[in-house]
Amino acid sequence: MKVVSTIREMRTSSREARARSRRIGLVPTMGALHEGHLSLVRAARSHSDLVVASIFVNPTQFGPNEDYARYPRNLKEDCALLELAGVDVVFAPSVEEMYPAHATWVEVEAMSNRLCGRSRPGHFRGVTTVVSKLFHIVEPDLAFFGQKDGAQVAILRRMVRDLNMPVTIEVCPIVREADGLALSSRNLYLNPNQRKAALTLYRSLLRVREIFDQGEREAAKLIAAAEAEFAGEAGVRLDYFEIVDPDTLEPEPRIWKTALAALAAFVGNTRLIDNILLEP
């Protein structure tokens, strides 16, 4: 496995692969890898000739009072995991390499202000900008993302479509712990009591699915049932629970086609997200 840190080195590797007609799969990450990331790598491995994983904690998607400075960073351990998973190239640039003198942004308007974008202004602009840069640097045929970031997936698909980017977005299922908690690098912040309280997120989604499967289609009633799960859980504060169109992120008052039930909540000071698809 090759580890490169400059854009020039990364482009050289990609162009060598293209010259040999090799299919390139990209797995963008911010490091602090877990089984969710590795499932993306395995999917990329099964569909690609050259698998590239990026490790870059992107400052432009963090707000001024968020956890950019303390976000877990362990490049050596991450590289060891990626090598075992079958990655061919790790692209691990510095902030200075990615943003030497930055004045250009990529933003999907309207959508970027929904769900997490509403409570984290500028977050999705940072995501679309850095992913656009990665696509131009790596030139992948396929890019692999997890369904846990459902809003991000929808926004990136729209960006690719609107800008005619020659890359296919592949979405892989959410990977969960045995008790249902969605894997996240931020789970490392949780103490044992908070880890237990965090199960409220998945429990609320299961409650919504249960009522939905019983025939309820009114979003307001489903959301009220989810909010009730949080009402008695001290130490967990719901940021939002919404039911939206999975492609546009617009609210769905009544579910007549596949919808995304998505939430964000603070467990202590740690913000976690989760979602499920509701399919009539």
Question: Which are the catalytic amino acids?
Answer: 37
What does the block give as tokens for 169?
């977005």
User: In 126-205, at which residue ranges do the beta strands (DSSP E only) sit?
Assistant: 142-146, 168-172
What is the H or E stretch that residue 47 is in? helix 35-47
Name residue 118's amino acid. R
Q: If DSSP codes are grouped into helix, strand and coil, which group holds residue 206?
A: helix
| Rounded-to-integer distance, Cα 230 and Cα 203, Å | 9
| 66: CB partners within 8 A, 6+ apart | 120
| Residue 190, SS3 per DSSP | coil
Could you tell me if 205 and 276 are in contact, meaning their C-beta atoms sit under 8 angstroms apart?
A: yes
In whole angstroms, give the CA distance from residue 156 to residue 131: 8
Q: What CA–CA distances, in Å, run from 266 to 112, 190, 191?
A: 21, 11, 13
In single-letter form, the type of residue at position 108 comes to V
